[in-house]
């Protein structure tokens, strides 16, 4: 074969392969720049953008960005690249109310809006059960069940996540010491005062704190099998000041007795040795515990008084000291996406620790008031700092704090919305106080309200538990 011909062919192959390598390199660079937020604008100038990811309930809402319909993001449950800076997002859907929020898009970062809810304007109402004989009620953590309580020992449980909720009696006569048998009654009379009720995540147990006279009593109620319930106060002969459920199905609890922190093994009916002494506040995430405690002083200690914030993973031999404080502080622990954090509230300053060992303070936020309570929101996305009717919401997605006022005592409508009842009006808010709307009237303020499976709005009205359909049929 002609050597010149072979030479030319080799040159063509080399040039072709070189071109392909260059093309691949350029493509990779362009994709990397796009992923990092760089974009070519209408003036052919390179600018760095961010991305908005938005979903809604119900799905398929129309999206407007800065008062203009989006050609790329016409419906929710999709994403769009936006120029960095402030943008107004508005959601609408025929037959529903609207939702809007101003968001700040950061260069090269993703901003997630996953919680917007639009309410059906014309809703169907149905009555579920007569509640005239009940004095209080409690909604489960997953919003799928309710426990109706009266002044007898026969309470009522309803599964709300079904087309036809059926009442089921729960007899608690053997569980509390504050139950007496009236001469003319077939069931006991419940004479105790309920101080607190806390459900585990799968709604199989309710931790109940009651008071009768000067004494308090803790009972872990097994919803599915009452005979397996346990009176924790009697079982351990202990005066617990605080107990919390540690896992999803209440196999383990964490408790304070005489300012000492213990773990309770429910199935083994055992109380651990002291985990931490002098505890004044604590919070937990799975098997991780953060606490505020008084320093354990010794004769050789140079400190005469003081407190510290500590961190303990159950199973570890000792706790880690995160910071020292001059007075007791409030603490919280949570996880936002893949990042765990610990928040410390000291008067009006919130300090957030956010690395593997939580040892370094990452962020500080100063509030205009001194909250009395701190709560971790759904999936750890936000913190709520509360004093009376004043709330400050620390939004980790937006990296911002918003302070706002609420009309009256509030509750959780679902995972991301709050509600209050004022003069019979049911008022709802996003977790940051925005998108305030009145969605129902003639609502009892003495009983809870909830949304179940994004399908039903449950509330109490005129001595009845009623529900409204939230989706168009």
Count of residues making up the chain: 473
Is 65 part of any domain? yes
d(Cα 304, Cα 324) in Å, to the nearest integer?
A: 13
Identify whether the C-beta of residue 236 lies closer than 8 Å to the C-beta of residue 271.
yes
Q: Check which CATH number belongs to the domain holding 91 and give it.
A: 2.60.40
Residues 6+ apart with CB under 8 A from 470: 119, 120, 123, 451, 454, 455, 456, 457
Is 57 part of any domain? yes
Is 42 part of any domain? yes
d(Cα 473, Cα 467) in Å, to the nearest integer?
A: 15
Q: Count the neighbouring beta carbons within 10 Å of the beta carbon of residue 341.
A: 22
Q: What is the pLDDT of residue 303?
A: 53
**DSSP at 421:** E
Q: Which pTM does this prediction carry? A: 0.87
Is 92 part of any domain? yes
Structurally, how many domains does the chain consist of? Answer: 1
Q: What is the pLDDT of residue 72?
A: 54
Per DSSP, the residues of 442-457 read S--SSS--EEETTTEE
Q: What is the pLDDT of residue 184?
A: 54
pLDDT, tens digit only, all 473 positions of the chain: 555 554 555 565 565 666 665 565 555 544 444 544 455 444 444 556 889 999 999 999 999 999 887 555 577 788 888 889 999 999 999 999 999 999 999 988 899 999 999 999 999 999 999 999 999 999 999 999 999 999 999 999 999 999 999 999 999 988 998 887 665 556 788 889 999 999 999 999 999 999 988 889 999 999 999 999 999 999 999 999 999 999 988 999 999 999 999 999 999 999 999 999 999 999 999 899 999 999 875 444 555 569 999 999 998 988 999 989 999 999 999 999 888 999 999 999 999 998 767 776 678 999 999 999 999 998 899 999 999 999 999 999 999 999 999 999 999 999 999 999 999 999 999 999 999 999 999 999 999 999 999 999 999 999 999 999 998 87
Identify whether the C-beta of residue 189 lies closer than 8 Å to the C-beta of residue 181.
yes
Can you list the positions of beta strands (E) in 193-251?
193-199, 205-212, 215-222, 230-231, 240-245
Identify whether the C-beta of residue 193 lies closer than 8 Å to the C-beta of residue 133.
no
What H or E segment, with its residue span, contains residue 3? helix 3-35
Domain that holds residue 47: 38-113
Is 67 part of any domain? yes
Is 89 part of any domain? yes
Is 215 part of any domain? no
Is 248 part of any domain? no
Q: What is the pLDDT of residue 24?
A: 58
């Amino acid at each position: 074969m002609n050597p010149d011909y072979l030479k030319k062919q080799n040159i063509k192959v080399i040039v072709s392969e070189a071109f392909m390598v260059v093309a691949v390199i350029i493509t990779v660079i362009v994709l990397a720049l796009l992923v990092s937020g760089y974009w070519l604008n209408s003036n052919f100038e390179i600018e760095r953008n961010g991305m908005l990811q938005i979903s809604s309930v119900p799905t398929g809402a129309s999206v407007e960005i800065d008062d203009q319909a989006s050609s790329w993001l016409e419906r929710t449950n999709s994403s769009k690249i936006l120029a960095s800076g402030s943008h107004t997002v508005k959601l609408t859907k025929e037959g529903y109310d609207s939702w809007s929020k101003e968001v700040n898009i950061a260069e090269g970062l993703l901003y997630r809006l996953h919680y917007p809810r639009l309410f059906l304007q014309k809703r169907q109402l149905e009555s579920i059960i007569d509640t005239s004989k009940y004095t209080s009620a409690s909604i489960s953590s997953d919003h799928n069940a309710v426990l109706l309580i009266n002044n007898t020992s026969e309470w009522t449980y309803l599964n709300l996540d079904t087309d036809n909720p059926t009442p089921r009696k729960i007899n608690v006569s053997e569980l509390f010491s504050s139950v007496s048998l009236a001469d003319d009654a077939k069931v006991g009379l419940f004479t105790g005062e309920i101080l607190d009720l806390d459900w585990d995540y799968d709604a199989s147990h309710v931790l109940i704190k009651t008071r009768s006279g000067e004494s308090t009593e803790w009972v872990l109620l097994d919803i599915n099998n009452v005979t397996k319930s346990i009176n924790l106060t009697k079982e351990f002969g202990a005066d617990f000041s605080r107990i919390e459920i540690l896992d999803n199905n209440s196999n383990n609890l964490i408790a304070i007795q005489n300012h000492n922190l213990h773990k309770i093994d429910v199935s083994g009916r055992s109380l651990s040795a002291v985990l931490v002494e002098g505890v004044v506040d604590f919070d937990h995430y799975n098997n991780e515990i953060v606490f505020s405690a008084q320093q354990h002083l010794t004769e050789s200690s140079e400190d005469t008084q003081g407190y510290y914030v500590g961190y303990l993973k159950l199973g570890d031999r000792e706790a880690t000291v995160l910071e020292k404080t001059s007075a007791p502080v409030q603490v919280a622990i949570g996880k936002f996406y893949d990042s765990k954090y610990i928040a410390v509230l000291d008067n009006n300053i919130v300090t957030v620790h956010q690395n593997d060992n939580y040892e370094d303070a990452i962020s500080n936020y100063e509030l205009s008031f001194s909250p009395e309570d701190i709560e971790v929101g759904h999936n750890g996305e936000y913190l709520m700092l509360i004093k009376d009717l004043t709330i400050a919401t620390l939004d980790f997605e937006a990296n911002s704090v918003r302070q706002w006022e609420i009309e009256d005592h509030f509750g959780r409508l679902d995972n991301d919305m709050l509600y209050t009842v004022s003069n019979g009006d049911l008022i709802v808010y996003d977790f940051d106080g925005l998108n305030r709307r009145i969605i129902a009237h003639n609502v009892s303020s003495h009983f809870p309200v909830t949304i179940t499976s994004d399908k039903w709005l449950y509330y109490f009205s005129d001595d009845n538990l009623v529900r409204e359909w939230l989706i168009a049929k």
